[in-house]
A and B are shown apart, each in its own frame.
Chain A
């Protein structure tokens, strides 16, 4: 006989305000199989949990229903509670009477009646629950980090320091990400290169780290602890083991300084064979096939140029290089693919986002984005750190900075705050004023958001010590004009504090564009089965309690791919992700939830519908043979390591030969029947 204990939580006032918990306990106590029905102020607290375990011991309960918040919040908590009291943890069900009841109803009678129904459903289900054992799976003690910006570098170094082998995959020819191109960094104004390059060198040299630059993830198979990742190593045409990085080739290339360098956001040039920047790791060149004379001529059956090859003393150049697919077995994956700036005024990939045609970005050469400005004032940048404007090389005297370009703009489709622009714009004004003492730095802003240690002080310094001119308002239009024969950009702004229009004729305009996720991240996320939001930022498992885990077991996130953030936060998150991955990899084996699909092999018709629909490729068609090896029949079979328990197979199976343990047809129908009764 089932002996069910039902424990209704008040959640302080959260539930009790709209649900009459006494009436609920009373009504539920009359349901068949219910041995006790109680309520308490905070079921998840120590006394609440003790109440449950006392009742288990006192009455010999066989199943428990906790009526409280979402199972996302506390299912684990209550499973632990009953387990400690000697009952199988899978004999707990939760009825969500908070998010799905008290929070969405204001009529107490309605909410109370609904709570009773919701709990009734859970009671009906728990009566059919079975004791389950977690699944044990082995772990490969190796990790992969995807993306080698500061996030990926930090995560890789921490994992490597923890004694784990790391494969660091970066799609660009060098590690470093955006930070490698920044000038000086808020809030301390230390030079970005000086703090990052030593770490870049370290990842290049660490015995536990295998660097895979100019590479991308092609395919991900397997499951937590046992991923099989195929990486495409793109043809680089340079054997980086033979190359010494001497530089003869890139200096000899006839295309030298003729091709826009994407590392400098096209403000500087490079050759067809190039290293993106002098401090690149690995400091080995790459041939840009689209611009290489030899590679292009080979397509037409000719062999032009080849000067780099002829000059290379190490015979490192191979024009017949091909993409290579390399497979890695890894136990954990850290995603650190970072961000890019939203393309203002250009075609948007996301149809819901619009550009700013009115700012003339792309049309006016001196309207640039914030990362371009970083290059212009960076000592390693194309102008050697001299602030020169792109169109004519003039030193700008008046610079207009426009914050929130794209961000927080419902009309343009990006609702979020990019979080770092207030800070880096303040930094930009300071760096500019440090170089152009008689210059004027105008900032148009909506609000100044400078929460953080020493952050507000930093912004105040820009305003008070360096004399940045802040105007609270937006710029509606930018027009190119000529003043005394010199090109200027008239910015039609507003100063809402002064309550009047504010027009500034600028030599240079810098747009603090919204941060959006890197290109291709949604494709990658799909390969990894990681969720993402409408903008493509990867979803963490819980915003507060599991900030670096994802809903794909064994896959972690850190850095700007998860949401806009600055370097300190990125690094902290990267170490957190590495720590979580290390915890996982240090286990002798992993346990997984046993709520997975299972096929009744006698009944299965092996039609393959489930095989085709399973998003995790967890089902295959197998043969059943007798002991002598005679074929009996085909059946589908679930790989318990791969199945995520999504239940898709159950819904497509025409003969309902597959069932989801923990959510069996029997349980689900009992739940429905309890509602209809």
Chain B
């Protein structure tokens, strides 16, 4: 698969279809997998594909310095592919100007704190039913295998992985749940790693950085961490694609993806809405004369 991927990217670069390819390479300390930006066909051997490719590379699509390199190809997993769709829906990228190279993913493993690889797969992977990315231009990997994995996970998708964890939280009383999040948020240092790693947190100036007037408390006090984390969750309602980057990036190990999953589930349950479908209007905030709700017109 890795060879197949390298060949595909080489071809794109050779034929000048793209100027830069964003993919995975062993660029971190001790050979940890991170993003590489390949601009010449000779460099494609830097590219790797394995279960350590946990980052969502779509975060780079909106960065001006990457855009400045020219036409982009990007390597995505299925969850990442959805983020690309949301970015296109929200006019952050012109989809037709980007070549999306999807890779069939069989799950990615968590990193240990020292940067080495754990054996443990991400919870999101346990309930994944979309192993082959959708809405891509090139698909690398075995689709039949992907379908097999989808089928295997399907029966337990709603009850395994993060959903299982969330179910535990939902079973608590609201007071217990509040105390749980209080404990989690109390570790937040307002480093904004979650924001930096999320492909959908692309604002030029985050409202958390707004002053005159300050919209939300900026300190890492209890008030500040609640305000920040809830605000971020709400800004991702109907948009979060459950890629898990935020939780993976958080140095305090806060399970941010559970917070977002609550809203992902609500969107599905109440509006039958799944983020990352092409051309679909946003869930929150659309004005339409045909709105089902009368009061809103």
Residues of chain A at the chain B interface (Cβ within 8 Å): 523, 526-527, 602-609, 612-615, 621, 633-634, 648, 652, 654-657, 665-666, 669-670
Contacting pair B92 A602 (CB below 8 A):
no
Query: With A665-B213, A665-B215 in contact, is A605–B289 under 8 Å at CB?
Result: no
Closest A residue to B282 by beta carbon equals A612
Residues of chain B at the chain A interface (Cβ within 8 Å): 64, 90-92, 202-207, 210, 212-213, 215, 235, 281-282, 284-287, 289, 297
Closest B residue to A666 by beta carbon equals B213
Closest A residue to B201 by beta carbon equals A654
- Name, among B64, B90, B215, the residue most crowded by chain A CB atoms within 10 Å (CB to CB): B90
Give the complex CA separation of A416 and B207 in angstroms: 49
Contacting pair A605 B286 (CB below 8 A):
no
**Which 5 A-B pairs rank lowest in CB-CB distance, beginning with the nearest?**
A669-B213, A655-B203, A613-B285, A605-B203, A652-B285
Chain B residues with Cβ below 8 Å from A612 are 281-282, 285-287
Give the complex CA separation of A656 and B208 in angstroms: 10
Secondary structure of the B contact surface, majority rule: loop
Give the complex CA separation of A669 and B205 in angstroms: 19
- Whole-angstrom distance between the Cβ of B210 and the nearest chain A Cβ: 6
Contacting pair A609 B206 (CB below 8 A):
no
Pick the residue among A606, A648, A654 that contacts B287 (CB under 8 A): A648
Contacting pair B212 A603 (CB below 8 A):
no
Given contacts A613-B285, A652-B285, A655-B203, 7 further A-B contacts (CB under 8 A): A607-B91, A607-B92, A608-B90, A609-B282, A609-B285, A655-B207, A665-B213
Give the complex CA separation of A633 and B294 in angstroms: 37
Contacting pair A615 B287 (CB below 8 A):
yes
- Whole-angstrom distance between the Cβ of B162 and the nearest chain A Cβ: 24
Closest B residue to A523 by beta carbon equals B289
Chain A residues with Cβ below 8 Å from B287 are 612-615, 648
Contacting pair B207 A605 (CB below 8 A):
no
13 contacts across the A-B interface (CB closer than 8 A): A526-B297, A602-B204, A605-B203, A609-B284, A613-B287, A633-B64, A634-B91, A648-B287, A654-B207, A655-B204, A655-B210, A656-B207, A656-B215
- Whole-angstrom distance between the Cβ of A270 and the nearest chain B Cβ: 34
Query: With A604-B204, A607-B90, A613-B286 in contact, is A654–B235 under 8 Å at CB?
Result: yes
Give the complex CA separation of A655 and B90 in angstroms: 14
Closest B residue to A652 by beta carbon equals B285
- Name, among A612, A621, A633, the residue most crowded by chain B CB atoms within 10 Å (CB to CB): A612
Chain B residues with Cβ below 8 Å from A609 are 90, 282, 284-285
Contacting pair A608 B91 (CB below 8 A):
yes
- Whole-angstrom distance between the Cβ of B5 and the nearest chain A Cβ: 30
Query: With A607-B90, A607-B203 in contact, is A527–B285 under 8 Å at CB?
Result: no
- Name, among B215, B285, B289, B297, the residue most crowded by chain A CB atoms within 10 Å (CB to CB): B285
Query: With A612-B281, A654-B203 in contact, is A526–B213 under 8 Å at CB?
Result: no
Query: With A609-B285, A612-B281, A614-B287 in contact, is A666–B205 under 8 Å at CB?
Result: no
Contacting pair B205 A603 (CB below 8 A):
yes
Contacting pair A652 B284 (CB below 8 A):
yes
Chain B residues with Cβ below 8 Å from A526 are 289, 297
Give the complex CA separation of A614 and B285 in angstroms: 9
- Whole-angstrom distance between the Cβ of B107 and the nearest chain A Cβ: 31
Chain A residues with Cβ below 8 Å from B205 are 603, 655, 657
Contacting pair A603 B90 (CB below 8 A):
no
Closest B residue to A607 by beta carbon equals B90
Query: With A612-B285, A615-B287, A655-B207 in contact, is A605–B202 under 8 Å at CB?
Result: yes
Chain B residues with Cβ below 8 Å from A665 are 213, 215
- Whole-angstrom distance between the Cβ of B68 and the nearest chain A Cβ: 11
Give the complex CA separation of A615 and B213 in angstroms: 27
- Whole-angstrom distance between the Cβ of B296 and the nearest chain A Cβ: 9
Query: With A526-B289, A609-B285, A666-B213 in contact, is A603–B91 under 8 Å at CB?
Result: no
Give the complex CA separation of A657 and B207 in angstroms: 9
Chain B residues with Cβ below 8 Å from A633 are 64
- Name, among B203, B212, B284, the residue most crowded by chain A CB atoms within 10 Å (CB to CB): B203
Give the complex CA separation of A606 and B90 in angstroms: 8
Give the complex CA separation of A654 and B285 in angstroms: 11
Give the complex CA separation of A606 and B87 in angstroms: 11
Give the complex CA separation of A670 and B202 in angstroms: 29
Chain A residues with Cβ below 8 Å from B90 are 606-609
Chain B residues with Cβ below 8 Å from A656 are 207, 210, 215
- Whole-angstrom distance between the Cβ of B270 and the nearest chain A Cβ: 18
Chain A residues with Cβ below 8 Å from B203 are 605, 607, 654-655, 657
Chain A residues with Cβ below 8 Å from B215 are 656, 665
Closest A residue to B210 by beta carbon equals A656
Query: With A612-B282, A612-B285, A613-B285 in contact, is A605–B212 under 8 Å at CB?
Result: no
Give the complex CA separation of A523 and B205 in angstroms: 39
Give the complex CA separation of A176 and B233 in angstroms: 58
- Whole-angstrom distance between the Cβ of B274 and the nearest chain A Cβ: 18
Chain A residues with Cβ below 8 Å from B64 are 633
- Whole-angstrom distance between the Cβ of B114 and the nearest chain A Cβ: 36
Give the complex CA separation of A132 and B279 in angstroms: 40
Give the complex CA separation of A605 and B205 in angstroms: 8
Chain B residues with Cβ below 8 Å from A654 are 203, 207, 235
Chain A residues with Cβ below 8 Å from B285 are 609, 612-613, 652
Chain A residues with Cβ below 8 Å from B284 are 609, 652
Contacting pair B206 A655 (CB below 8 A):
yes
Give the complex CA separation of A612 and B64 in angstroms: 25
Pick the residue among A648, A655, A666 that contacts B212 (CB under 8 A): A666
Chain B residues with Cβ below 8 Å from A670 are 213
Chain A residues with Cβ below 8 Å from B92 are 605-607
Chain A residues with Cβ below 8 Å from B91 are 606-608, 621, 634
Give the complex CA separation of A526 and B293 in angstroms: 13
- Whole-angstrom distance between the Cβ of A128 and the nearest chain B Cβ: 10
Give the complex CA separation of A613 and B212 in angstroms: 25
Closest B residue to A664 by beta carbon equals B213
Contacting pair B282 A603 (CB below 8 A):
no
Give the complex CA separation of A195 and B284 in angstroms: 54
- Whole-angstrom distance between the Cβ of A562 and the nearest chain B Cβ: 19
Give the complex CA separation of A497 and B297 in angstroms: 47
Closest A residue to B297 by beta carbon equals A526
Chain A residues with Cβ below 8 Å from B282 are 608-609, 612
Contacting pair A527 B289 (CB below 8 A):
yes
